Structure 1
């Protein structure tokens, strides 16, 4: 007997209705049930996780890095002046005590500086890895390196001057917004390139400065090394500014991209229908 309402399916109820028309249709198996949707229409299991909280923490710490760099520059230049005048001082004992006090002050400043830099690096890598995971959801086809390289790429000697940039380039491209027609909107890479160029320059200069200061043996050489260290800290401040802007810009791009629906994968000719 057919359903008295739809006249298509078999009636199963006493009043002659099928399971669809009577509302008694059993639930679909888990593997066939439609996935719930998250923001922008992304499936709950794969829609991107917000990088906003991590980005705010990273930007706050980058500001703290700038402040500690300024403190290190001030104490370092003061210590340099002490060493510069140590050889010509008439009261060598008094001059030596002043150098010792300035050295202790500089050590405190650099210890705080290194601690803040380490915390910033940890949170930055966590944020970087999350944005890489999000980019995998947005567009896996433009990712040049796997998500693991968003963490491991920073710790490979020599390669860490290039691998993270390749990861960042894929994130930047995959996080670009899409047009109403479904095409990717081109976003300038100027900020990405500027940030990375300054980061590499700052890293290389830091290593050079550490070697120079470590090999100093005379007060004059120590003063020169401290001057180079102040210059390295100044370059680090310059590099921190585009890093902060890069974090904010990429986070904003991912928030906007997550609010847009996924782009359907292109149809493959000859695929089974």
Structure 2
């Protein structure tokens, strides 16, 4: 009596410690584009404020804690600014989640300690001075450890420069203006605001390309290692 056996191929050997990153990258990319759209929309409203001109009653913030009632255009600018804030929060949540994953995967692929400790994934964005280079540095380190010997894509640096320019010249890094103060600036000197919105929108688009480039390189390395181990097995 002949014994029949079903022979199943062993699954391809896997790199231990890897985390799924493709979906996180896709969500992060769309969140970045959504945030960029928000900045473009706010730029439209700032142009509308500038062309309408400041009302005879003066700016919304009249000093000494006195605020006059907003007109309809100013109220709608408040709404648009709130929407921009929501898109930025969504983008931050997805982006940080993606950063964690590519960082952890780079450790799994290289078996080397990362250049920056894990708490910098959060603290690197908010700590003054350090936030000028650490987020980009973490992504660059993850890329280099994932695909050693390959040159860092220029889009990583372009994205970071645009982000810093947008934050510095408009509303974030050096300006802590409330929305009423932004309205006042739109009436009197709109060009720095528009330059900031353009830089932030461009940073969102290049950020989308950066996330795709880093993720694709990491996925290609994972696929290559998996194929090599299958052959060795």
Q: TM-score, normalised by structure 2?
A: 0.76
Structure 1 partner of 2:165: 201
Q: What is the Cα deviation at residue 117 of structure 1? A: 0.9
Q: Is 1:135–2:106 an aligned residue pair?
A: yes
Q: Counterpart of 2:224 in 1: which secondary structure? A: coil
Q: Counterpart of 1:260 in 2: which secondary structure? A: helix
* 1:80–1:222 contact (8 Å) kept in structure 2: yes
Match of residue 199, structure 2, among 216, 221, 235: 235
Mapped partners of 1:214, 1:66: distance in 2: 19
Structure 1 partner of 2:142: 171
> Structure 1 regions of 5+ residues with no counterpart?
1-36, 89-95, 177-183, 265-273
Higher relative contact order (CA 8 A, sep 6+): 2
Mapped partners of 1:48, 1:243: distance in 2: 23
* 1:138–1:174 contact (8 Å) kept in structure 2: yes
Structure 2 partner of 1:249: 213
Tell me how large the CA RMSD over aligned residues is. 3.2
Q: Is 1:83–2:53 an aligned residue pair?
A: yes
Structure 2 partner of 1:34: none
* 2:168–2:175 contact (8 Å) kept in structure 1: no
Match of residue 72, structure 1, among 27, 30, 42: 42
Q: Counterpart of 1:253 in 2: which secondary structure? A: helix
Deviations 1:30-83, CA, capped at 9 Å, x for gaps: xxxxxxx975x335xx24112111111111111211222222111121122223
Match of residue 116, structure 2, among 111, 130, 145: 145
Q: Is 1:42–2:42 an aligned residue pair?
A: no
* 1:213–1:226 contact (8 Å) kept in structure 2: no
Is the alpha carbon distance of 1:38 and 1:64 closer, same or farther for their aligned partners in structure 2, counting shifts above 3 Å? farther
Q: What is the Cα deviation at residue 226 of structure 1? A: 4.2
Is the alpha carbon distance of 1:54 and 1:216 closer, same or farther for their aligned partners in structure 2, counting shifts above 3 Å? closer
How many residue pairs were aligned? 208
Mapped partners of 1:69, 1:217: distance in 2: 14
Deviations 1:220-241, CA, capped at 9 Å, x for gaps: x551344432321111011111
Q: Counterpart of 1:170 in 2: which secondary structure? A: helix
Is the alpha carbon distance of 1:208 and 1:161 closer, same or farther for their aligned partners in structure 2, counting shifts above 3 Å? closer
Q: What is the Cα deviation at residue 140 of structure 1? A: 4.0
Q: TM-score, normalised by structure 1?
A: 0.66
* 1:144–1:167 contact (8 Å) kept in structure 2: yes
* 1:73–1:230 contact (8 Å) kept in structure 2: yes
* 2:125–2:131 contact (8 Å) kept in structure 1: yes
> Structure 2 regions of 5+ residues with no counterpart?
1-9, 58-67
Match of residue 86, structure 2, among 115, 126, 140: 115
Structure 2 partner of 1:63: 33
Of Structure 1 and Structure 2, which has the larger fraction of its residues in helix?
Answer: 2
